[in-house]
Amino acid sequence: MPSVHPEILIVGAGVVGLTTALMLAERGVSVTLLDRQLVGREASWAGAGMLPPGNAANADTPEARLRSYSHGLWPEFAADLTDRTGIDIGYHICGAIEVCAHDQQEEFHQLDTQWQAEGIRVERLSAQEVQQHVADMDGRFQNSLFLPDFAQVRNPRYLKALKAACLQRDVEILEHVQALDIHQKDGRISEVRVESRTLQFDRICFAVGAWSASLLQPLGFALPVKPVRGQIVQLQLPTQPFRCVIQLGRRYLVPRRDGLILIGSTEENAGFAKHTTTEGVAGLLDFAKSLVPSLAHAKVVHTWAGLRPGSPDELPLLGPVPEFSNVFIGAGHFRSGLQMSPATGTILADLMLGETPAISLDGLEAARFSSSATASLAGD
């Protein structure tokens, strides 16, 4: 087959690769996006689709900057994607209740202080007020917070819409591309052989989620990204029993408008094993019943697990790889890749086109672990 020459090759078609491809294509850049399987079948498909709010005016940490940037982009981005593709991605503002367990008072107050300091709308709720949002909520939670601007998206539909929008913008999407033969020369990667075809390009972006370390290590770049398994149980009820997300620590219930409820999620270091376990599923079901006892009667329709791309500080790694003049990375989004995807795609597109992103990337640089990363991976 003849060689093709896109300006930019993106390896990995999860939410990071897809949003980056779309943002580039919208600016008239020719893009090829490839994945070793179908588009969007890994962590991005498995996630719960929660989109916490942000406030750019008071965002003074790397995480808050990226979250608030994305929060600002989401409403228009979601509306535009739905208009263009005709796919309802389920984006809506549903609110979220953060409940406080008896033994987690300190963490809960820290969270309250953090939301207040960021200037995010937050209301304190008594146990009776919680029951106005969730009629069957267990009465033991005396302190809760309500975040009215918390939103959600149905990520499988979001990924489908991103793929459709990419195709509308002439992004070339190559699925089931198994073997990558990557050639580096003089600090550049400008050719990748995939099966019977050679792809040549000006710049390349790796957006391969939990697989980043294994793909990049042979190129001499140690990226400390590791898989963190998350399991989810999906329940089905005849109608939506409550509208808002309920969170307790790092676990949550996410109600969809058609009566489905996601119970998430575990955080496990299980390597690349992507199966659910009896312990994980049982723990999630117990958690759900302990918050909303009537869920004991709900039908279990599905369970699944996904591999979050975890970094040492739980923050994404974005931008150029210093050892190369044309290589970029978008990885390590851990628990927030869906929320942060509109901002991530925009930033990576900016960087690859030599433009200055709208927010500071201090603390999010792809190379921030380069020296320590080599040592830590070598010890594994």
Ligand X SMILES: Cc1cc2nc3c(=O)[nH]c(=O)nc-3n(C[C@H](O)[C@H](O)[C@H](O)COP(=O)(O)OP(=O)(O)OC[C@H]3O[C@@H](n4cnc5c(N)ncnc54)[C@H](O)[C@@H]3O)c2cc1C
Q: How far apart are CA 132 and CA 188, in angstroms?
A: 59
For residues 26 to 55, the per-residue mask of contacts with ligand X, x marking binding by CB under 6 A and - elsewhere, is --------xxxx---xxxx-xxxxx-----
Asked whether the bond before 265 is cis by omega within 30 degrees of 0, the reply is yes
Q: What residues between 183 and 212 interact with ligand X by CB under 6 A?
A: 207-211
Q: How far, in whole angstroms, is CA 138 from its chain's centroid?
A: 30
Cβ-based nearer residue to ligand X, 72 or 127:
72
Spatial CA neighbour of 267 closest among 43, 37, 98, 26:
43
The minimum distance between CB 153 and ligand X, in angstroms, equals: 8
318 binds ligand X (CB under 6 A): no
Spatial CA neighbour of 335 closest among 257, 276, 247:
247
Pick one of 180, 182, 219, 367: the residue that binds ligand X (CB under 6 A): 180
The minimum distance between CB 9 and ligand X, in angstroms, equals: 11
The minimum distance between CB 91 and ligand X, in angstroms, equals: 12
285 binds ligand X (CB under 6 A): no
Q: What residues between 12 and 31 interact with ligand X by CB under 6 A?
A: 12-17
Q: How far apart are CA 17 and CA 20, in angstroms?
A: 5
Cβ-based nearer residue to ligand X, 35 or 118:
35
The minimum distance between CB 147 and ligand X, in angstroms, equals: 14
141 binds ligand X (CB under 6 A): no
With 0-12 CB in 10 A as exposed, 13-18 as middle and 19+ as buried, what is 256? Answer: middle
90 binds ligand X (CB under 6 A): no
Instruction: Please give the backbone phi and psi of residue 179, each rounded to the nearest 5 degrees, phi first.
Output: -105, 135
169 binds ligand X (CB under 6 A): no
Pick one of 81, 215, 244, 253: the residue that binds ligand X (CB under 6 A): 215
Spatial CA neighbour of 244 closest among 77, 98, 44, 75:
98
Residues of this chain that interact with ligand X (CB under 6 A) are 11-17, 34-37, 41-44, 46-50, 180, 207-211, 215, 230, 232, 264-265, 306, 308-309, 331, 333-339
